[in-house]
């Protein structure tokens, strides 16, 4: 199954992205995120991964002494802020970057979802999005890439996302991604049960 998406109606050129995710038996096995206007290069930046071969096209930060999470500013809700505050109280994160999507996120910008997950390869501890809103085409390529780096991406209850041909398009149970140097389950366990129940209910309404 191939999931593709082009984020082109962006506030800034560097936010333009082309996403191609390939899944097999419902799970991502390869992903490409191309940013045609990234940096000063005439060809932009292409980050890609195939299961078992690692990540190509960018340097992966080994770890970061200051743990910060990224989340989506444009879809900010009370339960997102509640979750982030709890993660701070449990000392799982020190700070938060509010951004706009799932692949790359700059502080207080309005990007697309694929960007945010890439931040987990560039020093962020986690991408935390306890809310409905993003789709399978937003997460298939980023999940393939972060998984190839040793990180993890699930819904907020720790369940794998399913990308088969019969998959439900929206990610109704939110998204949680963590860097390779982070214990993913610790973040899952800290998200309150009431929020894990509420998010799918919001998607149905």
Q: Strand pairing of 68-72 and 95-99?
A: parallel
Which run of H or E residues covers position 72? strand 68-72
DSSP conformational letter for 71: E
| C-beta of residue 7 within 8 angstroms of C-beta of residue 141 | no
Mind listing the pLDDT tens digit for each residue in 108-155? 334 456 667 888 999 999 999 888 878 999 999 999 999 999 999 999
- What's the pTM? 0.88
Do 189 and 133 fall into the same domain? yes
Q: Is 95 helix (H, G, I), strand (E, B) or coil?
A: strand
- Domain membership of residue 169 (yes or no) is yes
Do 91 and 164 fall into the same domain? yes
- Domain membership of residue 63 (yes or no) is no
- Domain with 88, as residue range(s), is 68-204
Residues annotated within a binding site for Mg(2+): 138
Do 12 and 41 fall into the same domain? yes
Residues annotated within a binding site: 138
Do 121 and 45 fall into the same domain? no
Indicate the number of domains in the chain.
Answer: 2
Do 34 and 75 fall into the same domain? no
Mind listing the pLDDT tens digit for each residue in 28-43? 999 999 988 887 777 8
């Amino acid at each position: 199954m191939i999931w593709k998406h082009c984020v082109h109606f962006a506030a800034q050129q560097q936010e333009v992205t082309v996403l191609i995710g390939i899944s097999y038996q419902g799970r991502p096995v390869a992903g490409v995120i191309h940013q045609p206007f990234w940096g000063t290069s005439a060809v932009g930046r292409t980050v890609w991964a195939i299961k078992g071969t690692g990540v190509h096209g960018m340097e992966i930060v080994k770890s970061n002494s200051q743990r910060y999470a990224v989340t989506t500013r444009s879809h900010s809700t009370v339960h997102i802020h509640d979750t982030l505050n709890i993660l701070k109280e449990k000392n799982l994160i020190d700070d938060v970057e509010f951004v706009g999507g799932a692949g790359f996120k700059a502080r207080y910008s309005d990007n697309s979802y694929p960007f945010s997950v890439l931040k987990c390869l560039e020093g962020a501890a986690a991408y935390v999005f306890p809310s409905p809103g993003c789709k399978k085409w937003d997460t298939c390529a980023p999940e393939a890439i972060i998984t190839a780096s040793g990180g993890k991406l699930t819904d907020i209850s720790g369940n794998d996302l399913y990308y088969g041909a019969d998959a439900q398009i929206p990610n109704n149970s939110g998204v949680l991604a963590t860097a390779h140097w982070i214990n993913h389950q610790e973040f899952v366990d800290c998200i309150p049960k009431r929020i894990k129940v509420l998010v799918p209910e919001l998607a149905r309404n």
